[in-house]
Structure 1
Amino acid sequence: MKKILVTGATGQLGSELKVLSENYWQYEWVFADRTQISLDHLSKLKIQLELIRPNFILNCGAYTAVDKAESEPELADIVNHQAVKIIAQYANDNQAKLIHISTDYVFDGTSSIALTEDALNNPINVYGATKRAGELAALAVNPDVLIIRTSWVYSRFGNNFVKTMQRLLQERDTVSVVNDQVGSPTYAADLAKAMMDIISAQEWIPGIYNYSNEGEISWYEFVLAIQEIGGYTCDVKGIPSASYPTPAKRPAFSLLDKSKIKAVYEIVVPDYTDSLRKCMELLINSNFKRI
């Protein structure tokens, strides 16, 4: 039985893969948290991989605190770059298949058309720079690695934009949201399914791929969709990024072109509104159950 290792197992994507794993009983699954796979402890990481000896590695673990990374660049680099190189090297040396998750933050946001996998990289914050360094390191040591860039990830698990906004829309009379950053959200359950479709495909075709849900929206429009689905009455105001300064700059435009993953792996990419509705129904139902 082939073994699948999921790093970052308690995160949004790792948690969705755990739910999905029930449909893939033909594999032995190892869901590793920070104690089992130490992305911030490089010498320990090599030993841990040798002990698990996976056939597939789904590297969902990362340093994702975008603003905090500005003051912790060394730690962000260890987790997002140096650890990725070790995992990619292990996969190469042991004939394991690696799917590594990356980000739209490798781009600078100056494009006006959907970004392909070949678009120029020019990260504008520490998080994006360390994630791009991880991509390059993985590709340098392992030509068989498969990298998926994604954006605006949310889920019923963990802390994320959808859950935060769902709460604020119920608690406040007014919510202000930036309206000049454009992209597309990614429901982690959809991305998890895409990853398993790749593993299940007849042929492994490595390289960089983009994945997010279909649609081109701003964060402001995203909140309006959350409000509509939830039936909330809060007043949502659009504001420019300049009115909401953060330690890390964000790309103004990071819409990903999904043509490649759809063509090569025949991945079906749902529209963001359909996926958002599914996630919010799960969140609302789970809230009712708690009550």
Structure 2
Amino acid sequence: MAPSMIPFTIKLKTCLKMCIQRLRYAQEKQQAIAKQSRRQVAQLLLTNKEQKAHYRVETLIHDDIHIELLEILELYCELLLARVQVINDISTEEQLVKEHMDDGINEAIRSLIYAILFVDEVKELSQLKDLMAWKINVEFVNGVIADHIDVPEKIIKKCSPSVPKEELVDLYLKEIAKTYDVPYSKLENSLSSSSSNISSDFSDPSGDIEDNDEEKPILALDNDDNDNADAKHPITVKKPRQNSENIKNELKIPKDIKKEVIEKKQSEKKTTKRKTKKEQENDELDELKKRFDALRRK
């Protein structure tokens, strides 16, 4: 089949699958680079080069934002791949805006087209742009790239991030210092201030509280007792209720029943003894009979 005869749906599916694979690979690569960059920042902190580590962390923050952008673009590709047949029915920009503002297709297409200039590692996005230009029109694609028409604000910010705030950079440096157990001046200052606050809380007890409960005895009560604590016994402890684990064998048997049980046991013993005697006599008789039979045969 000639390339021009390949249906649009097959082209779009193939392109989106390739984009997804490339985006995943780019994420893994960027994450490995970010991990290595964190180790380098930790090494700089270890050698007291905090200013250089500060600048390196700014680059690290931009890399993390780029990874987030790649993740979002991958989700957009997954969405379009699941709705290829719906996209095949779109022919104009007006139809795209009118029918697909709520289902995410309009947002996904515009975001992927706009991100082409900022995601150099995924060349397949340019093929997606060409397919959309053929399906809708070239003016639609140019308007998205040049004028950011209906492109989400989060995509624009992640494609061109600004200089990170000082608080965010400090937070990154503190987390890296904690993770790799390296010194950082602002981390040490925060730890010392927090420890001083904790020590002041414990050193100055507020109010005139007398802690003399250790000298007073503890009263143990049954669960059915309704006695409250008094001055001599300020602390009361309820005994555990009886259950299958702690119940005691305190069952009292009436004397009459007990006597009958004892007599019955004694009678059973006597009968067993009688039976044993009779069995012995029978055994002896059997042996005598056997002997007489043997003598007669001789």
TM-based fold match above 0.5 = no
**Which TM-score bucket, shorter chain as reference?**
under 0.3
Structure richer in helix, relative to its length: 2
Higher RCO by CA contacts (8 Å cutoff, separation 6 or greater): 1
Structure richer in strand, relative to its length: 1
Q: Which has the larger radius of gyration?
A: 2
TM-score normalised by L of structure 2: 0.21
